Amino acid sequence: MYWLPKRLAAQYTTHNRIRNYTALRLRLYHSYKLAVNKLLEMEEISVKATGIVRRIDDLGRVVIPKEIRRTLRIRESDPLEIFTDHEGAIILKKYSPIGELGSFAKQYAESLSQVSGHLALIADRDQIIAAAGSNSKQVLGKSVSKALEEKMNSRETVCTSRSDKDYVSVTEDEAEEYQHEVIIPIITQGDVIGAVVLLSAKAGDEMNEVEMKLAQSAAGFLGKQMEQ
């Protein structure tokens, strides 16, 4: 039996994992197209009265009350979708490019988790919109932490362990203590729209350049697809 030196064996493993991930990206492209077609159909939107009345100024502007902006985490320069109905209602809805992908984001997270062997998350700027891997149900739909939001806003790339000062909790109420993480912002047309996150709860399962490249490739792919 022929044994490869450790260094060559590690390089072979790295190249093999990246090649497998590239093949999965091509397979997921078809799923992406199907998801985009579904977005063309109008969603049913439920509304609830707030009892707040605001007047429109001479430039056609109206102020969204601070309490609503704080509750819905609407920030300055955040995009909003405008809907109207046959009864004359005007509806504003927070627009999340990543969040609108739905099933495609879920499939992408599942593929990323299979290739990396870690918990894979895809987040927009407010919450975890797709998760796959061990205990993924515990984090799906949870609000991102202030620390993660700051990392995204500053466009920081993170590859660290819990013992390091750069480590941040991904969600506000993180149920499990993860030991290692990779965070890569998703950028499209110059704007940060979310992040790809890899997490590991095993103390000896440190992340390295392989996980960084996988997450960077995923974030780059999602960002480019949103530009089309």
Q: Tens digits of per-residue pLDDT, 51-103? A: 788 888 888 888 888 888 887 777 777 778 788 878 778 888 777 767 666 67
35: pLDDT confidence band, cut at 50, 70 and 90? low
206 touches 199 (CB < 8 A): no
Report d(CA 224, CA 227) in Å as an integer: 5
Q: For the whole model, what pTM was predicted?
A: 0.67
What local confidence, expressed as pLDDT, does residue 19 receive? Answer: 61
Q: What beta strand segments (E) does the chain contain? A: 80-84, 90-94, 119-123, 128-132, 158-161, 180-188, 191-200
- pLDDT at residue 109, rounded to an integer: 92
Is pLDDT of 131 > 80?
A: yes
Pick the more confident residue, 217 or 172: 217
Q: Per 3-state DSSP, what percentage of the chain is helix, strand, and coil (rounded to 5)?
A: 40, 20, 40
Q: Find where tokens 């077609």 sit.
A: 37
Answer yes or no: is pLDDT of 193 > 80. Answer: yes
